[in-house]
Copies of this chain bind each other. A is one copy, B any other.
């Protein structure tokens, strides 16, 4: 029996389009791997050798300039696919934000398997198109929104992303209370802001009664409408 049978993301990851025989074959070329928070899996600029499905935890995709400025260009949640298939250079680092578990493949093995399973490639194509849309939307935020709008938008995004940890079923309503899976520094790296600005905006929203901050990781949305208005 393959370990995929008990996989919590079996029906949400790209594997969902495969029948049990195919999933068995895919299982044969993959392996599980646990990552600790902060551990890197893929480094920017290296040749692409690994791809993976996220089973549990969260990872960041990031780039940086030589002089140390960093930007998080994406966040991978359970069931997301990470890495760069089809023989290119990996242009972004992948690092675990929390302890995480992934289902890992050698890129070459995965490429070959994908080539033999068009349904898998189509699934991956759909995901990639959706991810591209989301990434482009984020560009508007990075380029044009004020710090207040950025932070408000981010909190709203988190409140709908974090519905049922590891369960991204659409239709669930957003949370009004959740723990941020990011440090202030990481929030800054996502929004293109400094840690101080993030902190100030959070304090401001708290002072205005829009959100509550019970402790440094928790967020409570007290006035969703006001938060949406702040998001621009």
Contact = CB atoms under 8 A, between A and B. Distances in A.
B73 A144 contact: no
Contacts of A91: 133, 136-137
- Range of interface residues on A (Cβ < 8 Å): 35 or more
A92 B136 contact: yes
A199 interface: no
Q: How many of these chains are in the complex?
A: 2
Interface stretch (A99-107, A119-127, A172-180): A119-127
A140 B131 CA distance: 17
A139 interface: yes
Interface of A: 61, 63-67, 69-71, 73-74, 84-86, 88, 91-92, 115, 118, 121-122, 124-126, 128-133, 135-140, 142-145, 191-192, 232
A136 B73 contact: yes
Nearest to A144: B69
Contact of A136 (B64, B67, B121, B135): B135
